[in-house]
Structure 1
């Protein structure tokens, strides 16, 4: 059966991404993101059980989710520095081992305080995953394919969240909420072992995996392949900002100077803020979505987990569209496709979500929620790929750390604010979900703000791409001529 059915599927997957080596990398990086999504889903799945066992309310549940994000936020900046200076595959493996231990700690917690402490420990993987995965994507894959391949990797969050909902729901129903936490330690241990065996790519895009059948780059001192980024510059006829072109090795820059440089890139500021606002809404829905669906639409948890799968299909479609549409736009002469597609998707998401939240019919709500979730997901692949376009390669880890810090702040705030609005502002004492419904509607406003910020970034993106290319070219030229920039390859 494996020969007849498994092999053709694997070959199709290999052709889609460009070969077996690429498929291995994409799968492992997607699994890193999937673990984090699966963990966060367990809180939503077990919200009712936790409230009953420990005597909690919605605000306490929000605090549990926020504790993970806050711990990740505090560890993000040092994780970004480590990402740019150490072996990233081993850094990820070590953090996932600690993450698995913390999952077991969550499962055996005897009090709310102990559970909260275990959730704080879980923030470690959130701190390392964002910077390390982004940096590895930049070094494994050329610019022209990053948005497309990033879409497959980001699908790991969808898979992990959906898988976490479905599996943890059934484990909690058949066994207990404690087992629904503990089981995630097993795939975590396996993933850590696989990551240790994954080869570390050379820094600066000089160790990229060529598509199967194509020759890999052979000039070790050449600037990284940046075909798509150069096409943006040619199409927009943009010139670099001379004052921001780096003349030194970015990997050796002190942390404070590196972060100061990153935050002076205008498009970076706009993109990380837009991304954080989008994740603000997503974090709130992820924390309270299953609770809302079960009570507002009057369905059981098993049925609700099935509805989540349908919505997940919409998210997957959004990821695929978001990964491909920017390249289509670029081929038709729109240099800012990687910014325009997220802007349109985020602006359209809120008007689609609103009627789905307002209706009490699951039959009417699910298609609207699926489309809205797809629009929200469509923004991520092009935004993540665009951030790599506008930052010199040696700063990819610290750039993603700055973005992860902002995202973590949003993820920390969202569950608390959703819970507070639901329990204390929009008093839902008469209905389990009236308060949550109002909270969801109010928190659609950040999605609109994210879309507007992305529109503003259309003006700054091409020139910041030109500046990043000029910095990479300057570093490569000095390496080739034996200048003062000395590359240090991790691993």
Structure 2
């Protein structure tokens, strides 16, 4: 594989022996995995990942109590979630920069502590505007953990394990939503909505302590080691037994199928100390990254609207109390946890079978399946069938997340992971921030009072709103499938960029 740099042709790749290359990469990955406490790291990162959804889910559960206590309607309530998300989108950018330049575990602990303070202040809010400000603080801390977790995960888990790891970590986001709904529903029933936020603050303080005691900072040079193994003349040898124990994975297939990187986009220096604008320009110049960000934003927009108004919809649809609606919604949401775990394993299995674009295909198909499941759920009058279709819809929607997260790391230089995720989260949440407000606004235009048909009752406004916004899931499907044509070369480009020399500031 000849790569042109600065007008010259590098001949060192001519010395590569494919069998030795595969052996070396497999051994390097095995050493990588054996060096970390995988289960502990996944659990702690999953719990941290769930902070933002935990807050949004708690808000959704106590929505009727908040609307009554603060004398607000759907639009006022939707603004709470919107402001929280939008503040988090803004904070993700500087936090992403810090994630590329500072130790990430202490940074996570500080963000969790800030989130705990926001929960305490929410619990003592004297009025709507105070509560709005505390939710903005919670959003800044809860949403901005994303870039730090992405950067940590990239260094903790090698390419062939990222789908499975992200499946479990992203499962924490859905688990956080489920815990938030059950906990908030129970505490709100036994006490009041203020106590809900006090309990969340205590949980966050405990998580910060566990992270401080149980997580250590990983090395940042694991991807550089893999890239070095790819180009050196005499890769580390591995026994036949070790080769047969391990399976094929992404880097092996890139080499075996002679997928060429995009020469003009191979980085020639370490980007750690780059100015933010230069880093952003590089990150957004990667075609697959733009597509993945757009598809992710569309999917999360729908998920946020569903999370914000799902409980309220069920209470109106089936005339049940908040506790019963929370249990029904959480039960259906368990499908999402199964989806995030299953899709990561399926995509990694397909990678080991030689399908380089496995993560793109799995995500695109999952988006496509989400549409009929939710439409069927919205158009049945049977509570049992509604639960079943919601369960499978949640499974499909959840299945899109881990493969998207793993794919984004595959196409990005490891020293840009934090900033790339910061930009992605900012763009995603700027759009997603409008979801609760948009869902609330659209629902008011399909009010039961404006409809004379018999079927207009039972949560008609929200039912029509959820149906209309499934168009976003179709858009996400089309975007994902288009990434099939750019993803392999972008992966190869990122891998060869890892060979860049360090800048003077980092040497």
Q: Does structure 2 retain, via aligned residues, the 8 Å contact 1:236–1:462? A: no
User: Deviations along 1:191-227, whole A, 9 cap, x unmatched?
Assistant: 222223321111132699xxxxxxxxxx9xx99xx97
Structure 1 counterpart of 2:470: 444
Question: Displacement, 1:231?
Answer: 3.0
Does residue 356 in structure 1 map to residue 377 in structure 2?
yes
Q: Could you say which residue in structure 2 is the equivalent of 1:8? A: none
Q: 1:310 to 1:20 in 2, by over 3 A?
A: farther
Give yes or no for the alignment of 1:60 onto 2:76: yes
- TM superposition shift of 1:417: 0.1
Alpha-carbon contact 1:142-1:227 (below 8 Å) kept: no
Residue-by-residue CA offset, 1:75-100 (whole Å, 9 max, x unaligned): 11111111101111111111111111
Within the candidate set 96, 99, 102, 1:83 is matched to: 99
Deviation string, structure 1 residues 392-419 (Cα, Å, up to 9, x no partner): 0000001111110122113201001000
Q: How does 1:188-267 map to 2 (within 5 A)?
A: 188-197=204-213, 198-205=215-222, 228-234=249-255, 236-267=257-288
Equivalent residue, structure 2, for 1:180: 196
Cα distance 1:147–1:464, how it changes in 2: closer, same or farther (>3 A)? same
When the two structures are superposed, what TM-score results if normalisation uses the length of structure 2? 0.85
- Residue 6 of structure 1: aligned partner: none
* Structure 2 unpaired stretches of 5+: 1-32, 226-231, 237-246, 451-456
Contact 1:91 1:128 in 2 (8 A): no
Note the aligned Cα RMSD (angstroms).
2.2
How does the TM-score come out when normalised to structure 1? 0.87
1:139 corresponds to which of 139, 155, 161:
155
Distance in structure 2 (CA, Å) of the matches to 1:107 and 1:101: 10
Matches within 5 A, 1:18-97: 21-97=37-113
Q: Which has the larger radius of gyration?
A: 2
Equivalent positions of 1:218-367 (< 5 A) are 228-234=249-255, 236-367=257-388
In structure 2, relative to structure 1, the CA distance for the partners of 1:406 and 1:93 (3 Å cut) is same
Q: Distance in 2 between matches of 1:412 and 1:179?
A: 26
Q: Which residue of 1 aligns with 2:408?
A: 387
2:488 corresponds in structure 1 to: 462
Matched residue, 1:371? 392
Structure-2 separation of matches of 1:175 and 1:301:
14
Equivalent-residue separation in structure 1 for 2:222 and 2:249 (angstroms)? 14
Equivalence for 1:427: 447
Provide the rounded CA distance (Å) in 1 between the counterparts of 2:83 and 2:458: 24
Do the aligned residues in 1 keep the contact of 2:146 with 2:421 (CA within 8 Å)? yes
Q: Deviations over 1:80-125 (max 9, x none)?
A: 1111011111111111111111111111111111111111111222
| Secondary structure, aligned partner of 1:250 | coil
Q: Which runs of 5+ in 1 are unaligned?
A: 1-16, 209-218
Deviation of residue 428 (structure 1)?
Answer: 3.6
Shift of residue 233, structure 1, vs aligned partner: 1.6
